[in-house]
Amino acid sequence: MLLAEVLPVIEHSAEKAEESSSAFIIHHVMDNYNLFGVFPLPRIHLFGIDFSITNHVAFLFIAAVLVFIMFTRMAKAYQKSLVPSGFNTLLEVLVVFIRDEVVKPTLGEGYQKFLPYLLTVFFFILTANLLGLVPYGTTATGDIAVTSALATIAFIVIQGAGMAKHGVVGYFKGLIPHGIPSWILPVMFIVEILGVFTKPFALAIRLFANMTAGHVVILSLIGLIFILKTIYVAPVSVGFALFIYLLEILVAFIQAYIFTILTSLFIGMAVHQEH
């Protein structure tokens, strides 16, 4: 009888713990209006449209300013000496890597026109990713609106590059492989047009999902302590959370690299169509 009375109480407490843990995770992953969780951000409404600066928007500005400062200092340093030093050495290694291992192989001749854009994409995404690992920071690239905007810019650059090279009609004609039977041309045209839009869609979803998943896993591991309500699970939870946190540093670089190399590859496919 006593067990029958106690079990519902235990189950209810467990459900409450799970609900509070879920709310805790959602609160830290979703956008909000407090910078670093302390400073309220301005709420702006004009003509019935919400122009409020959210936490993710603020960190986008921070990432942009940091990238601008880093490369402005790097440019000034090169004006004084052609030999980089300190942090500029790391930046030069990354710049040379993106140029020689990503942009050149995928774009070939004429890669110089797209190199500034692709370098900006890489360092902006990398900085935004790493800012999410700073205490009280947030990952702007964990917002689907942000990754969609980046993918939309990539879409415009990809299509613009292809049309500038082959013309509007020539570009869309080049999307269809040559030598296929005429009766299948309408189907292939629809498939290729869908492919034009699914490429940036994949860029947006991949970056968003990977940057969100790591934070959810870390918060879930920490949440186990409160769900199970025992300190004995803390060493395991914290240990695994620390491992995932260190892994997230690697993921920040990998996701910036993947977004950049895929964008470069898609530009190369649009510019160098098979004839």
3-state secondary structure of 81: coil
Q: Is the pLDDT of residue 1 over 50?
A: no
Rg of the Cα trace of the chain? Answer: 24
Q: Is the pLDDT of residue 14 over 60?
A: no
Residue 6 in domain: no
| 3, two tokens | 């067990």
Residue 17: its pLDDT value, please?
47
Residue 147 in domain: yes
Mean pLDDT of 103-123: 92
Span 220-254, pLDDT tens digits: 888 787 777 778 888 888 888 888 888 899 999 99
| 113, two tokens | 């026109």
Residue 251: its pLDDT value, please?
92
C-beta of residue 118 within 8 angstroms of C-beta of residue 102: yes
Residue 24: its pLDDT value, please?
59
Single-letter amino acid code for the residue at 250 = L
Span 47-65, pLDDT tens digits: 777 777 888 888 999 999 9
Domain that residue 61 falls in: 15-271
User: How far apart are alpha carbons 54 and 61 in whole angstroms?
Assistant: 11
Mean pLDDT of 105-113: 89
Residue 8: its pLDDT value, please?
43
3-state DSSP of the chain:
CHHHHHHHHHHHHHHHHHHHHHHHHHHHHCCCCEECCCEECCCCEECCEECCCCHHHHHHHHHHHHHHHHHHHHHHHHHHCCCCCCHHHHHHHHHHHHHHHHHHHHHCCCHHHCHHHHHHHHHHHHHHHHHCCCCCCCCHHHCHHHHHHHHHHHHHHHHHHHHHHHCHHHHHHHCCCCCCCHHHHHHHHHHHHHHHHHHHHHHHHHHHHHHHHHHHHHHHHHHHHHHHCCHHHHHHHHHHHHHHHHHHHHHHHHHHHHHHHHHHHHHHHHHCCCC
Domain count, the chain: 1
Q: Is the pLDDT of residue 11 over 50?
A: no
Residue 1 in domain: no
